[in-house]
Amino acid sequence: MKKILVPCDFSEPAIHAYAQAQALAEKSYATIHFLHVIEPPVMNDTLLMPTLSFEAELMKELETNAIQKFKEFTKKSKEHGTAVTYEIKYGAVPVVISQCIQDQSIDLVVMGSHGASGMKEYLIGSNAERIVRQSPVPVMIVKQAGSKPVKNIVFPNELNLEHQEDLTAKVKELQKFFDATLHIVWVNTPANFVADTVTRKRLDDFAKRYMFRNFTLNIFNHTSKQEGILEFAKLVSGDLIAIGTHGRTGIAHLLNTSIAEDVVNHSDGLVWTYTLKNEPTYA
């Protein structure tokens, strides 16, 4: 992990994400790249044209304020010996972040989130949720202050024995980085009920197939996968939930919502996600 992207809107969750990125950067000697995205107003009515000069002045003021805040962040990071770069871009937040990941050769995105709930969750969703779905690199979502040590990682999985090489390799790298215990869990629900005797063998086969170390194997019964993952994480004092997601978009996403995105929206702790577009995952 050499380069960490921190999308920053200077909100409280974004500041928490910065603190988490700072801790990660100190541990891995990585560079932090701050990105602030200013979304230009959309004006389709010609009657609004006289306001363009006002909008330009406003955008310039927003950029100037952002630069000043970035300099404050940079000063704090330099005191810790962390290299920091920053840039300001204009456009739609998810699109700009996705492009920045490619342009800057980012290894990890650390971003704050307020989460989303109610109709907003289903119709709009948060920017964090969209990045989780689109990012080609792992994303760590932060909601609370503090960067306590990660000692227990919860890894929910569908236990497929094929096509999980990329995901499991990255999860094992994450576990090694934090020197943490990995809690592999199958959440058993009425909708996808499997007898424990069958699941136990699948857990054993999964662990052997991908050669995990320092791990536990778990079956957790609940009425829903998302709530089961969150409750299991509390049960084992999970500091971070690591979960793969399918990265569906458009109508496919509306018809088959992502468990990973639900966890991102409703978890109070750290959530690490990785999008695999062509491989089966838990979510």
- Domain boundary at 99, 116, 142, which? 142
Same domain, yes or no, for 48 and 98? yes
196 within a domain of the structure (yes/no): yes
What's the CA gap between 273 and 261, in Å, rounded?
A: 9
- Domain boundary at 142, 163, 180, which? 142
CA dihedral (209, 183, 166, 283) positive or negative: positive
Same domain, yes or no, for 89 and 136? yes
Task: Render pLDDT for 206-232 as a digit per residue (tens, 0 to 9).
Answer: 999 999 999 999 999 999 999 999 999
- Mean pLDDT in the chain? 83
Instruction: Read off the amino acid at residue 260.
Output: A
What's the CA gap between 149 and 42, in Å, rounded?
A: 43
Partners of residue 141 on adjacent β-strands: 111, 271
Same domain, yes or no, for 137 and 160? no
pLDDT at 253: 37
Same domain, yes or no, for 165 and 115? no
Same domain, yes or no, for 37 and 59? yes
pLDDT at 171: 97
Q: Residue 80: CA atoms inside 13 Å, Cβ hemisphere, count?
A: 21
Q: Look up the pTM and report it.
A: 0.85
Same domain, yes or no, for 26 and 56? yes
Structural domain count of the chain: 2
Q: Which residues of the chain have pLDDT under 50?
A: 43-49, 118-125, 249-257, 280
- 58 contact partners, CB below 8 Å, separation of at least 6: none
Same domain, yes or no, for 30 and 49? yes
- Domain boundary at 142, 174, 194, which? 142
126 within a domain of the structure (yes/no): yes
Same domain, yes or no, for 129 and 96? yes
pLDDT at 76: 66
Helix axes 259-266, 127-134, angle to 10 degrees: 150
280 within a domain of the structure (yes/no): no
pLDDT at 254: 35
Identify the CATH number of the domain in which residue 223 sits.
Answer: 3.40.50.620
Same domain, yes or no, for 120 and 178? no
Same domain, yes or no, for 93 and 195? no
Q: How far is CA 185 from CA 141, 156, 170, in A?
A: 20, 5, 17
Task: Render pLDDT for 180-201 as a digit per residue (tens, 0 to 9).
Answer: 999 999 999 999 899 999 999 9
Same domain, yes or no, for 232 and 267? yes
Give the range of the structural domain holding residue 121, as residue numbers without chain letter: 3-142
Same domain, yes or no, for 171 and 238? yes
pLDDT at 119: 36
- Report the candidate in 236, 231, 235, 237 with the shortest Cα–Cα distance to residue 263: 231
